[in-house]
Amino acid sequence: MYGLSDDEISAIREGNYEHFVPSETSLLRMADAMSDTPSNVGDAFYRELTSYYSPEQLMDLAANAALENYRARFNRVFDVGSDGLYRKGLHFKQQSA
32 belongs to a structural domain:
yes
72 belongs to a structural domain:
yes
What CA dihedral angle connects 36, 33, 10 and 2, to 10 degrees? 130
33 belongs to a structural domain:
yes
Q: What is the pLDDT of residues 52-92, one digit of tens each?
A: 999 999 999 999 999 988 988 888 888 887 776 656 655 55
Phi, psi of 48 (to 5 degrees): -60, -45
91 belongs to a structural domain:
no
Q: With cut-offs at 50, 70 and 90, classify the pLDDT of residue 95.
A: low
Q: pLDDT at residue 41 above 60?
A: yes
Angle (CA) 62 36 67, round 5°:
35
Phi, psi of 71 (to 5 degrees): -60, -45
64 belongs to a structural domain:
yes
13 belongs to a structural domain:
no
Question: 59-64: long-range contacts at Cβ-Cβ below 8 A with a sequence spacing of 24 or more?
Answer: 61/27, 61/30, 62/30, 62/34
